[in-house]
Structure 1
């Protein structure tokens, strides 16, 4: 539904008396009174500006219940179950560990997903379904693996140095599969094989958006059974590789299941935290102060 909403913006912006028109969607993970969606139109004709703002606001509100995720969603456990139940035609099966997406504002070092993955009995032994997990940072873990070298078995601890709300640092024992230095984001990357899971550990957080991000580490995502990436929607290269895909509603700094966040400081009612509106919202435009004047009242 966003397509027809944003298609309406240039029409308002072209109105005589309007300088600019914008739709601001807000940042749903910020529990702040000022946080909400807004339509902002600027110009020199207040009547035209208000008319344009109200037009966009109405289009925006009328579509508020039409938005959907771009892929099937489920808990992390449900995603793993679906991937395991899929046939060869649906593999590699990609799962988005979306709650800790570092390109959306997540810290990138939440260990919850990998902790849950390694607890599954299906992946305890090397002959099990091949899983690639990207990724968890752990500077000390990477250093230990580098000193031991490829082929060595090491016990290391990684993750949860910044965000330990949902899981603490994860200690794991595995075989060093590969080591790569010089990445502009990660600096150093290590792949540790634990059972049938190939876990990527990094010196610094890194997004994994391209096929070469995996093949450079001697990983073969196209022949893996399951590929788990800290991402929301799949970037084009990943999307083209995936034969199956679910978006995991996992915990983290950018948890996509925003209704469970427990916000208590935002202004209410606010969709989707509230769904039973006694009356439609007031979508009449308000003229706000100039940019160097403090906002007051409902605009504060």
Structure 2
């Protein structure tokens, strides 16, 4: 029976977390600076709902420990994880007393030599803050949720939209639920957890279309049930190979019967829909997408170069796509159809173009410094159209005009999600015939801009053909790897409170 707690009028709550999506199929490695960690009071600046005069800020004594978020990428080095984790624990340990902790993570971090890195870090956090503190965990719906992570979290939730237009709303919900639990003196919630043996790419599970639209609509219905605080469905992260990678449902609340029924409803809805998930846009090879874009009247026509998407964990420097574009005769003349390509990293190429200056013609080589499995470094001769400094991700960006192609080169990899990413470089995406971006589903601004759109199924560390990637550590059977598998056990597992031992098969 859940034990009542003493209400805390103005609880002391720490904020901590390290977040990244890590592809184990990319040769890239992620180091500590990539997380751009914030510390102490500066942590609060990440969250608009904790701004000065915000009601939620006044509801608790918020203490920033360390929060770092990296652009998705390759496996995190053991050194980087140790460095960031040690500092995070040191900062938490310096806080004399904590009533609660908000654990703000992504949930798909892979670390060299460690499985389930977020649970490993939370175990260290629990040892530092003590068993009585209440922990609320917020995650990306592409995170991975092991039984151990649920056990050590008292509350746990994730985004309900893909693309993640509700990311800040989700974080606020996690923080607010924590405050409400502490100030009410409510018992630790009951947690119902259901692993669902499905592993699909984000581009196949977008909430813009069915069946994910309905699967996630049901989350709100379950959350509205008496006896439920929060409901969450994770589709998991498809481009890592660990035993925890799969879909999961977790429902929390004071009523065991309500959270159990809700979790089983959501899990069954996801499993029953498994064969209906499809790509969020029409697909084809890159050449097929280009052929269609060239004859289409839709302008601009967007093509997603999906296999090297840096926002899913791709290295970002695969040259295969740009190489195919530049080989097409349609783009060899300056008066050919305008095509914008974003992007390929090449520090030396950027430096050479910067030194030559605007308007100069340069021959430079870029790409394939990290991922050269599909194509080698690409040498190009073009006119320097634009130079821009100071981007958080790219550092310096250069645009080369090669025939009718405007190729964006960067010092470091960068995703291109917003119109200003292009207009700030003197480019007009709305006036272009074709815009190719290393991305999966289009982010909202680009989606609204696109008159036509296809997903190119290209090679890279986040290849959309999951079966050919070669997973060998995920739990089997798993759909779609085992398409004719028997129906799984979707009975909700009630997880022990965080201050009690976790017993039974950890699955």
- TM-score, L = length of structure 2: 0.55
Q: Does 1:285 align with 2:492?
A: yes
Q: How do residues 113-128 of structure 1 correspond to structure 2 at under 5 angstroms?
A: 113-128=321-336
Q: Secondary structure at the match of 2:493?
A: coil
Name the counterpart of 1:130. 338
Which string of whole-angstrom CA distances, capped at 9 and with x for unpartnered residues, describes residues 140-184 of structure 1?
A: 111000111122221211112222222222222222122222333
- Equivalent pairs, count: 296
Q: Counterparts of 1:91 and 1:23 in 2: how far apart (Å)? A: 36
Change (3 A) 1:91 1:19: closer
1:196 aligns with 2:415: no
Whether the aligned pair in 1 keeps the contact of 2:236 and 2:245 (CA below 8 Å) is yes
1:147 corresponds, among 339, 342, 355, to: 355
Mapped to 2, the partners of 1:21 and 1:256 lie a distance apart of 28
Pick from 237, 241, 263: which aligns with 1:27? 237
Contact map agreement 2:495 2:502 (CA 8 A) in 1: no
Normalising by structure 1, what TM-score?
Answer: 0.89
Query: How big is each residue's C-alpha offset from its partner over 1:193-244, in whole Å with a ceiling of 9 and x where there is no partner?
Result: 2222110001122222222222222222222221111122222332233222
Q: Are residues 1:75 and 2:285 paired? A: yes
Q: Secondary structure at the match of 2:213?
A: helix
Alignment of 1:26-45 (within 5 A): 26-45=236-255
Residue pairs, 1:165-184, within 5 angstroms: 165-184=373-392
1:243/1:14 Cα in 2 relative to 1: closer, same or farther (>3 Å)? Answer: closer
**Structure-2 separation of matches of 1:10 and 1:237:** 26
Distance 1:295 1:109 in 2: 45
Q: List runs of 5+ in structure 2 lacking aligned partners.
A: 1-210
Hey, what's the Cα distance between the residues in 2 that align with 1:26 and 1:58? 16
Cα distance in structure 1, aligned partners of 2:391 and 2:492: 49
Partner of 2:88: none
Matches within 5 A, 1:235-254: 235-254=443-462
CA distance in 2, matches of 1:226, 1:183: 24
Query: Which whole-Å CA distance do the structure 1 matches of 2:374 and 2:228 have between them?
Result: 47
Helix, strand or coil at the partner of 1:287: strand
How far apart in 1 are the matches of 2:323 and 2:305?
12
Distance 1:10 1:94 in 2: 33
SS of match in other structure, 2:220: helix
Q: In structure 2, how many angstroms separate the alpha carbons of the residues matched to 1:251 and 1:57?
A: 32
Cα–Cα, structure 1 residues 236 and 26, in superposed 2: closer, same or farther, change >3 Å? Answer: closer
Question: In structure 2, how many angstroms separate the alpha carbons of the residues matched to 1:211 and 1:24?
Answer: 30
Match of 1:12 among 204, 222, 245: 222
In structure 2, what is the equivalent of residue 56 of structure 1?
266
Aligned partner of 2:318 in structure 1 is: 110
How well do the aligned residues superpose, as a CA RMSD in angstroms? 2.2
Query: Which of the pair has the greater relative contact order for Cα pairs under 8 Å at 6+ separation?
Result: 1
